[in-house]
Every structure is written in C-alpha cells, then in structure tokens.
Chains A and B, each alone.
Chain A
C-alpha cells in the first residue's frame, strides 16, 4: 500500500514538473506587454529596465531555475494588470473561500440528493411500474440534454421572480452577508452533479443487482434491504469513488458561468479576466493551480479506489487469477 502511494505520488510530481516547464516555455513566448501596466507610454529604456528587474532578460535556464525556486517557496508572483502590484497569493486567498464555501455546500447536496435519487431509481426498477425510475430518468435526461446556461437562467429567474421565491426572500444576485441569497447559486451548482451521480449510481446498481453473487445472497436468505445496502450499493459506489476527490477539489475553482450569473466574486471568472487583460503572471499562476488540482484529484481518486477495492493490487503484479 505505502509503496503504491509513494510510487503514485512520485509520478504525479514528475507530471507536475513537466507541466511547470511547459507552462514556463509557453509564457516566455507571450508578448512582453503582459508584464506592464502602461506599456504604450514607456520608452524602450524603461521597458528594458523593468524586464531586468523582473529577471526576464536573464538566460532561459536561469529564469527556469528561478521559476522553480519561486514556486517551491509557494510564491506565485505579483499581478501586473489585474490588481497592479498585489501578490497573486493575496488575490486568490480572497477569492477561494467564496467559491469553496458555495462549492462544498453544493457538492454535499449533490452527493446526498444524487446518491439517494440513484438508489431510489435502482430499487424502483424492480417494482412493477418503475415509476421512480421513469421520473428520475426524465429529470436526468432533461438536465443532461439542456445546455447548462438554460437551466441556470431558469433557476435564477424562477427562483427570484416567482411569488414563492419572493416570499422566501430569494434574490437575483448573490450577497455575501445574506445566506438566503446563496440558495439559488447552490441549486444551480448542484443540479448538474445530482443528475450525474444519480445516473451513474443507478446504472452501476442495476448492473450489480443482476450479478450472480446477488442471486447467491438472495438464495442464502439475506433480506432485500440488506442486499441493497451491503452488497449492491457498496459495490456500485466503488466506480464512483474515484471521481469524488476531483469533484471536491474542483469546487475550489468555482464555476465561471454560475458565478458571473449571480455576480459572485469567486474564482470562476478570474482566469478569463486574466487572459483578457494579458496579465501573464496571473494566468501562469491560475493555470498552475488548475493543473495541481487536477493531478491531485486523480491521485487521491486512485488512492481511494485502492482502499475500497481489494482487487487493485498495490505491489507488483502477483499471480492474480
């Protein structure tokens, strides 16, 4: 187990190094305007002087080493355009908590509601009219087929303009201090995931419940509820486990669309803004964070998978039959 994890972590570190290096190379190819707040008004001498202080005129290997060193100190640099002279760590530290809070709440809701819906649907496939399954499928197909933008707007509109919503005090826009305004964004953020988890859990549960070992469990007289819980759900959940760390980590980055719709000052729009403004250091920092999150998500997913599924062999390939 430890050996497997160490191996897996090392591999992730190597991947990270490659990504950092490629990112470095890409950014050196960008126009240098991205390092200046008012490039047009500066003379050539001023430009060169700034580049020298930033270390951008050093030979490339030196720059690369400096870049590595800077990252090792967890320093992401300073924004040059978005908020001039402010350290990127500070910018992100302000924004992440907002996205994270909404994201974690919505993910918790998505998991509980989505998994429950999946279980209800799977169990309903064994009943005569399969009503639960049919209704659930309608919901899932609707959500999956509709462009996300459409249902986000629908939720925002129906939530804030209907009499019911008004009575509750729901509003079009997000306000940090008023938790009731969080409700609509949280619904928007979770609804896609609800459909996703319900769909896959239902599918895996139906798959599992047709397997031979379920027949054996029935033949040995295990009550249906215990079969559902102990055998079907447990086994159907395994393939989903892999995606959960990734889902959690991705909530850090917020959702571009939902955040701009409710004007939430989170991480979602930051990368687009940074690219638009050509804020090279900010772009570089954000891309790095995305990469770290994705790789960490995969890593934790694999490790979690290894914990819940005994068939995954941690050591070298043994004589598995």
Chain B
C-alpha cells in the first residue's frame, strides 16, 4: 500500500457558507496498480486528488481524516514549503487540458527542464540531456528542435505528451491523471492512454486516473472507485464493478451508458440532481434519486460493506437484514455476461 486515505473530510468556505466537498472518503492505493476514480462532475474526484498534493484552492481545507503516504501523514503539511517535499517528487499530476497547462511564453524544453532540475538534481548540460531523453521517452521526435519550440507550435496531443514528460521527469512514485484525454480528440486519446501505460511500466509508477469516461476506465484500470456527492460509494476490481455492481448509483451510472447496436430505446438518464453539499446530507446521498431506495436510506448513512475481499460498497442493500432488491434488468444481464466471461 502506497497511499492510504482514511475518513478524509474536505470543506470549502464560499461566501460565508461551508461546502462539504469530501464527506469521509476512505481509499487505499496499492503500489504499482492503476486505479480509476469515476463519478459525475462535482462528485469530488478532483478535490480528492488535489488534497493529496496540497493543491486545494485557498478557501479549501482538510477538516478531518488522514492521508498516509508511505507511512507519512500528509495532513500535517500546512505550508506550500511542506508540500514541496511531496509535489512532483512523490506525487505528480497530469492535467485535463494540455492547451492551457503549459506556459505559453517558455520553451517546451525549459518547462521540462524546470522539473528535471528540481527533482533529478541535474544542472546545465546534464539537465539538457535529461530533457532530450524525457522528450524522446514520450514519443516526441527530433527533441533538439522541439526543445526550443513554444507550446503554440505543438498540437494538443503533443502538448499532452509534454505534460506527461514533465510529470514523469519529476520521477514520482504516483502519477495522477486528471481526465488526461477529455480535451483531446478520440484518435489521440488511445495513444495518450497507451503512453501513460508505458510510462507506468518503465518507471514503476502507481497511476490514479480521474475520469467520467467509463470507456477509458475499462481500458486502463485495475481497480475502480465510484464517487458520488463527495464520497466513494463503491470500490472494487474492474471486473467486479463492471459486471457485479452493488450500489444503486453504480447501477444507474452503468445503465446510462449508450450500448452499441441497441436501437429505438431511449437512453437511460438518472433522475434528479446531486445533493446540495452546502447542506448536511442525511442517510445515503443517492437515496432521493434512487427509485429502489429503502426507508433507512433516508435516515442513516450506510457503512462500507464488503462484497469480496477486494470489493466494497456503501449501501444498505448489502446488510443481511435488508429486503432483497433486484437490480435493473440490464445490470442483471451484465452480471450474466460477467459470469460467462469468467467461465
């Protein structure tokens, strides 16, 4: 286990009000795995990873819980100076939009070199060589020429390669990819995912993907954590979550995926809106949108139940006392598919 987050609470102060962005998130990340965190916009995926690097906006703060990285509790870090021992060095990040995440007035080479000098302790000629290597590493041809170019001379996919080169040049242990392909066109997406996987293998990285694209997840992840309203509602191996989902929110999420070859059927969409995190959420946050909600879902927050050793879900349906609730039909179909697959 490389990163262990326990009962993490993050709050933001906004115009005098308190927004409870993460409501007791617990998640373990294992060395060398690739974990995907999925969930709709505003579910707290980005806040979660940002809090592990101390990159929360100025009005955000950790109000409880712990983030233990390699035996070190990161929540005791207060100042940017404290965090500098983590940022880049241990945990690096690839951002969503490569068009804006590079400094437009600095050459590509200089921007990679900044990371190299900071984290590999190289200077001058040696640093320059390391930059060329890093650029070649991420599949950028003719690195000597590219070194001197500016971001506007690169295409979107190439820029994302540079961003990845910067992140990897820090020589981190964990690489966080915050929607790394969202801003790219489909043909480039696969290449970038492939590249991240290569880097993971080559440098023995642990990767955490944040995405709302389940296609990406299926492609890259060993494990999936599903987030809803500032909490992880289900976590498990890729197959477990895809073929044997237990939480009603995961059911709804999977049901709203368009299926190839299915015609004349309206696409499923989840009714209602996510809860307002300015107010206290009572019971299961998904209950008001869940047609199969139990009475207790509105009253008491469910604990995490173990489905298997690796598969957990936060729903009362897994309590032995709860009535048997059948998942929607398409989820049952998925389950059968999963069984066949395993056979």
Which residues of A line the B interface, CB within 8 A? 126, 211-213, 215-224, 230-231, 234-235, 238, 308-311, 320-321
Contacts and interface: CB of A to CB of B under 8 A. Distances in A.
A235 B88 contact: no
Query: Interface size class for chain B?
Result: 20 to 34
22 contacts: A213-B102, A215-B101, A216-B101, A216-B102, A217-B103, A218-B80, A219-B88, A219-B92, A220-B87, A220-B88, A220-B114, A220-B167, A222-B114, A223-B84, A224-B80, A231-B106, A238-B105, A310-B105, A310-B107, A310-B150, A311-B105, A321-B155
A215 B118 contact: no
A212 B100 contact: yes
A213 B87 CA distance: 15
Interface centre among B84, B103, B150 (most CB of A within 10 A): B103
A220 B170 contact: yes
Given A216-B163, A220-B87, A235-B105, A311 B170 contact: no
A261 B36 CA distance: 71
- Secondary structure call for the A interface: helix
Nearest to B155: A321
A152 to B, nearest CB: 38
Nearest to A308: B105
Interface string B140-174: 00000000001010011000000100110010000
B128 interface: no
A220 B92 CA distance: 6
Given A126-B58, A235-B104, A309-B105, A215 B88 contact: no
Interface of B: 53, 55, 58, 80-81, 84, 86-89, 92-93, 95, 97, 100-107, 114-115, 118-119, 150, 152, 155-156, 163, 166-167, 170
Contacts of B88: 219-222
Contacts, number: 83
A158 to B, nearest CB: 39
Contacts of A321: 152, 155-156
Given A213-B101, A217-B114, A223 B152 contact: no
Contacts of B92: 219-220
Contacts of B95: 212, 215-216, 219
**6 tightest A-B CB contacts, nearest first:** A221-B88, A221-B87, A212-B100, A220-B88, A219-B93, A212-B101
Contact of B100 (A211, A220, A308): A211
Contacts of A230: 106, 114
Given A126-B58, A231-B103, A310-B105, A223 B155 contact: no
Interface centre among B86, B155, B163 (most CB of A within 10 A): B163
B333 to A, nearest CB: 41
A216 B87 CA distance: 10
Nearest to A319: B153
- Secondary structure call for the B interface: loop
Nearest to A320: B152
Interface centre among A212, A217, A220 (most CB of B within 10 A): A220
B55 A215 contact: yes
A231 B110 CA distance: 12
A234 B55 contact: no
A126 B103 CA distance: 20
Nearest to A231: B103
A258 to B, nearest CB: 36
B12 to A, nearest CB: 15
Contacts of A222: 88, 114, 118
A200 B259 CA distance: 53
B152 A221 contact: no
Given A212-B95, A309-B105, A219 B152 contact: no
Contacts of A308: 105
A222 B88 CA distance: 8
A278 B69 CA distance: 82
A211 B102 CA distance: 9
Given A221-B84, A223-B80, A213 B103 contact: yes
A94 B167 CA distance: 61
Contacts of A221: 84, 86-89, 115, 118-119, 170
Contacts of A223: 80-81, 84
Contacts of B89: 221
Given A219-B55, A220-B87, A235 B103 contact: yes
Contacts of B100: 211-213
Contacts of A231: 103, 106
Given A212-B101, A310-B152, 7 more contacts: A213-B100, A218-B80, A220-B166, A221-B119, A222-B114, A311-B150, A321-B152
Nearest to A226: B114
Contacts of A310: 104-105, 107, 150, 152
B78 to A, nearest CB: 13
A226 to B, nearest CB: 8
Contacts of B166: 216, 220
Contacts of B150: 310-311
A321 to B, nearest CB: 6
A157 B103 CA distance: 48
A311 B152 contact: yes
A123 to B, nearest CB: 12
Contact of A220 (B80, B118, B155, B156): B118
A316 to B, nearest CB: 16
Contacts of A220: 87-88, 92, 114-115, 118-119, 166-167, 170
Nearest to B167: A220
Contacts of A309: 105
Contact of A219 (B87, B97, B104, B105): B87
A218 B87 contact: yes
A238 B105 CA distance: 9
Nearest to B54: A218
Nearest to A235: B105
